[in-house]
Amino acid sequence: MNFLVVLHSYLRWILLVLLLASILKGLSGLGGKKALTAGDKKLWLFTMISAHTTLLIGLILLLFGRMGIFTNPPPAGTSVMKDATYRFFYMEHPLMMIIAIVFITIGRGQAKKSIPDAVKYKKAFWFFVVALILILAAIPWPSRFGRPLFPGL
């Protein structure tokens, strides 16, 4: 399970880099003169796949991890909503990340629509930007919960 926490943590960096690159690609098409390239489509697809993989591992951690609902539930008498750590890892983190991943999925889906390429770029850009803001807000940065930036290093 520890391996999955580490994997989940490092996937954050892969996703952030891919998402940033996807945003820049979206930006590059905002002028309306560029046709959607196969490379940009591929980048958006990989961004979505890394988001979905992070989600899947997150779900496993939430259910079966070291603070998993089934494997290590909060001690009797703990109010999940009143405890900042449980509230974050059981509610805020999963909810905001799932919403962000829905936005990434919709953003990437623009590539498959029969709309002008300029509109695809514009819509994808905005969906990715909102997703990035949500993800940055919902990551357990070291200052909040003491979780490492690069576990194991």
| Footprint of ligand HEM (CB under 6 A) | 5, 8-9, 12, 15, 51, 54-55, 58-59, 61-62, 65-67, 89, 93-94, 97-98, 100, 135, 139-140, 147-148, 151
Q: Both tokens of residue 42?
A: 């591929």
For the bound state, the minimum distance from the C-beta of residue 28 to ligand HEM, rounded and expressed in Å, comes to: 24
Q: For residue 113, what is the DSSP state?
A: S
> Are residues 81 and 91 in contact, defined by beta-carbon separation less than 8 angstroms?
yes
For the bound state, the minimum distance from the C-beta of residue 45 to ligand HEM, rounded and expressed in Å, comes to: 16
For the bound state, the minimum distance from the C-beta of residue 33 to ligand HEM, rounded and expressed in Å, comes to: 32
Query: What distance in Å separates the CA atoms of residue 82 and residue 86, rounded to the nearest whole number?
Result: 8
Query: What distance in Å separates the CA atoms of residue 60 and residue 78, rounded to the nearest whole number?
Result: 22
Q: Both tokens of residue 53?
A: 């993989």
Q: Decide whether 39 or 152 has the Cβ nearer to ligand HEM.
A: 152
